């Protein structure tokens, strides 16, 4: 077995310690010793991004928020699904070092030269409070620990989305508490299971929670 190599380590102002490790070309991102993302287990994140952006593939100027960069696979999949030149991809990543490490060690170096991609060093919910009705999709992976979203944050995500758009949350397992919170915020919900990785003999699954803000209303209907 090839050795496990620590590539990066940094404490944050909140007191957490983030690390990036590598073994045989596989990257792992850890927070306080808990694995947050792994490049081998990227299939579910990529599928989440494709599903979340599918309702707006024909939009002229789609705007997508990636709530937490991870290792960049969700961002890369969203950018590939929406190749339009006027698309925008906002990465909300509070840990500045994570962005630096993914730029340095990640697989998608071309993303950081893409003028459609911007990075905000802030929590996604805080950014959404300033972007009412401006987003076509929000994608969020939260497979390393329970998602502690409160009602105020859920309403911020709801208000930031355009009608018919999706908040997609990737989870390790179904979460009834989170579902109830999103429903209270006004979302219509559906739950699916997606493979963690397309490789391997055993198919392990993540839970994909899709929260939709009502029905898409076309410009013609709004003017009628």
| pLDDT tens by residue, the chain, 224 residues | 678 999 999 998 888 999 999 999 999 999 999 999 999 989 999 999 999 999 999 899 999 999 999 999 999 999 999 999 999 999 999 999 999 999 999 999 899 999 999 999 999 999 999 999 999 999 999 998 889 999 999 999 999 999 999 999 999 999 999 999 999 999 999 999 999 986 655 578 999 999 999 864 433 343 33
DSSP codes of every residue in 155-206? HHHHHHEEEEEEEEEEESS--HHHHHHHHHTT-EEEEEEEES-S-SSS--EE
Question: What is the C-alpha separation between 31 and 16, in angstroms, rounded?
Answer: 7
Could you report the per-residue pLDDT of 87-124, keeping only the tens digit for each? 999 999 999 999 999 999 999 989 999 999 999 999 99
- Helices (H), ranges, 40-175: 43-53, 73-81, 96-105, 124-128, 151-160
């Amino acid at each position: 077995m090839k050795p496990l190599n620590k590539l990066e380590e940094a404490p944050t102002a909140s007191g957490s310690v983030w690390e990036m490790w590598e073994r045989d070309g596989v990257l792992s991102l850890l927070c306080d010793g808990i694995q947050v993302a792994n490049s081998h287990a990227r299939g579910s994140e990529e599928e989440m991004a494709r599903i979340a952006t599918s309702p707006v593939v024909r939009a002229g100027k789609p705007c997508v928020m990636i709530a937490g960069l991870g290792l960049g696979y969700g961002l890369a999949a969203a950018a590939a699904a929406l190749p339009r030149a006027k698309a925008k991809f906002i990465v909300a990543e509070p840990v500045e070092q994570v962005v630096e490490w993914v730029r340095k060690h990640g697989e998608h170096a071309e993303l950081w030269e893409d003028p459609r991609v911007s990075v905000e060093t802030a929590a996604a919910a805080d950014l959404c409070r300033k972007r009412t009705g401006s987003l076509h999709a929000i994608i969020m992976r939260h497979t390393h620990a329970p998602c502690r979203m409160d009602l105020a944050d859920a309403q911020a995500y709801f208000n930031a989305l355009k009608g018919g758009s999706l908040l997609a949350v990737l989870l390790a397992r179904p979460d009834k508490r989170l579902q109830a919170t999103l429903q209270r915020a006004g979302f219509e919900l559906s739950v699916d299971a997606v493979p963690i990785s397309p490789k391997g003999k055993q198919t392990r699954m993540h839970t994909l929670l899709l929260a939709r803000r009502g029905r898409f209303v076309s410009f013609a209907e709004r003017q009628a």
